[in-house]
A and B are shown apart, each in its own frame.
Chain A
């Protein structure tokens, strides 16, 4: 037998037994019986900015909604709510995602990084945030958290991008003020290159 399958089955059995235990507490009393394999629990743990957060999540709930309205992390903005603007960009396992178009249940076992998680332990701004300030990148500022997250993900992977690479990396973030070049200046400054 494939050892991987057996390990997975073991984990599933553990999850199922803990669900049965939760049912006794009265929170999810009606759901545990007779559900098809793969149905999701509502009370789940998320890893947000390095902290484990317990949260009650609807099956169809989007991550942007959970972050803003259940966890109080309102730095993540909801613009279009359709994956067409990028204001809600967060980093999941090192990769940028539109949190308005990510089911909260799909990040259960993954690491989510939001704009609130960028500051250092002493509260200093992330170098990208500081560079955006120095270059006066934002105008109205609504798209800025998303632009910052896209820039952070780019620099994690490619610390010295060309301007064209930065343009590509930030291309999934709209700015209605049209401050694109100022954001690119900020990315170049954050990467230690002349803007």
Chain B
């Protein structure tokens, strides 16, 4: 397939009111492309692998920017840049997990313009899909990655269902760990959905990474105070320190009772199509202290149930080691 240098001909809208953006999203529906920082967008368009008729740029809408108090915790506008999140004092103090995750995204220039909403709803990075091949995720009826000689080193070890792509978003794992709520708007009104339900696997929606329907816009993310100031751990393993997507990442929030772990959330990125919650690890960690012994004990079950493909068995010990590192003293 040919690759092009310039953008294809299309319309651009830069509304300054959310209502105008919602009307445009409704009018264009599946033919409209909601634009945040655009860093995931332009590759699709330049490659002619997606063909929207119009881009609806959200960056001029002030209501979608900024970090505010909410009834319970904070609310972050979807067009807030990762740079703003990384530098925000309050997030660094109370929700360090999120700023740590955001700081590992791509490169400085991309974080400068990349938005939280865009990072959360970005599309899968499977190179067969990205190349515009007609795979299951693109509406076709085959998977090129899960074949005897398919290159699936970076693909999933959990939750495969025809498609074996993984979630590329670093902030998504943090959002699931922090029990965030997504605020979604359309001309029909507003709905909220938990981060865990927002991200959907191929068994639910083969062509979507999230529960966003055409015409809907992710407008904000609400993070509850429940996990504010708790013990956090974030680590991302990738081939390169910059630009790269996670091979495996982990976002952990632990509620400590003295030395003992109480409630916790262990969420892995890069191992399934959605941020993958390790409920059995959370149960096993409850009542344990942060120590090398308990870390070893819990880490040994971290990758239970995984079904690796030909070339990604290495992700199992990676998961175990990330859990181990999260639980060290």
A residues within 8 Å of B by Cβ?
8, 12, 36-40, 58-62, 65, 78, 81-84, 86, 89, 95-98, 101-103, 105-106, 150, 168-169, 171-172
Contact present for B108 and A168 (CB under 8 Å): yes
Given contacts A83-B109, A97-B112, contact A105 B42 (CB under 8 A): no
Contact present for B109 and A86 (CB under 8 Å): yes
0 or 1 for each of B34-54: is its CB under 8 Å from A? (1 = yes): 000011001101100000000
Min CB–CB distance A88 → chain B (angstroms): 9
Find A96's partner among B10, B21, B112 (CB 8 Å cutoff).
Answer: B112
State which residues 6-36 of B face A: CB under 8 Å.
6-17, 20-21, 23-24, 27
0 or 1 for each of B227-265: is its CB under 8 Å from A? (1 = yes): 000000000000001110000000000000000000000
Can you pick out 18 interface pairs between chain A and chain B where the beta carbons lie within 8 Å of each other? A40-B12, A40-B13, A60-B7, A60-B10, A60-B45, A61-B7, A78-B5, A81-B46, A82-B42, A82-B43, A84-B243, A97-B112, A103-B38, A103-B55, A106-B59, A150-B109, A168-B108, A172-B242
CA distance A37 to B21 in the complex (A): 9
Min CB–CB distance B48 → chain A (angstroms): 13
CA distance A171 to B39 in the complex (A): 17
Contact present for B55 and A60 (CB under 8 Å): yes
Contact present for A37 and B15 (CB under 8 Å): yes
Contact present for A172 and B108 (CB under 8 Å): yes
| Residues from chain A with Cβ under 8 Å of B113 in the complex | 97-98, 101-102
Interface size class of B (residues with CB under 8 A): 35 or more
| Closest chain A residue to B61, Cβ basis | A38
Min CB–CB distance A106 → chain B (angstroms): 6
| Residues from chain B with Cβ under 8 Å of A59 in the complex | 10-12, 55
Find A36's partner among B20, B38, B39, B83 (CB 8 Å cutoff).
Answer: B20
Contact present for B6 and A38 (CB under 8 Å): no
Q: How many A-B residue pairs have CB under 8 A?
A: 103
Contact present for B24 and A36 (CB under 8 Å): yes
Given contacts A96-B112, A171-B108, contact A37 B20 (CB under 8 A): yes
20 more A-B residue pairs beyond the given contacts A59-B10, A61-B7, with a C-beta to C-beta distance below 8 A: A12-B16, A36-B23, A37-B24, A60-B45, A60-B55, A81-B5, A82-B46, A84-B243, A86-B107, A86-B109, A95-B112, A96-B109, A96-B112, A97-B109, A97-B112, A98-B113, A106-B59, A150-B109, A169-B108, A171-B241
Contact present for B107 and A39 (CB under 8 Å): no
| Residues from chain B with Cβ under 8 Å of A102 in the complex | 38, 113
CA distance A98 to B8 in the complex (A): 19
Min CB–CB distance B9 → chain A (angstroms): 7
Contact present for B112 and A103 (CB under 8 Å): no
B110 at the interface (CB under 8 A from A): yes
B57 at the interface (CB under 8 A from A): yes
Find A172's partner among B9, B45, B56, B107 (CB 8 Å cutoff).
Answer: B107
